[in-house]
Amino acid sequence: MRRRRARLATVTIAGTAWPVFKLEALAVAVLLALTLLLITGSAQLAVLAGATAAALRWIIAIARPGMIERS
């Protein structure tokens, strides 16, 4: 029995539909990176933490039930 793929919320940017969770991941990464850069002064730490936060947000969105088609 096949389950239907859940319809993702999207935002159109320059004629392309972007899933909202990707934009949220990008926003989290940028805000965290800028905040850490201002607090610590370390670009390396800021970029690493921002990338980690974005990856976690992305994984959580994909892992939610109904977000991907399961066979």
Q: Which residues in the chain come in under a pLDDT of 50? A: 69-71
For residue 70, what pLDDT is reported? 42
**Rounded Cα gap, residues 15 and 31, in angstroms:** 25
User: pTM of the full predicted structure?
Assistant: 0.74
DSSP 50-71: HHHHHHHHHHHHHHSTTSS---
For residue 28, what pLDDT is reported? 94
**Nearest alpha-carbon partner for 43 in 53, 33, 55, 52:** 33
Enclosing H/E stretch for 31? helix 20-40
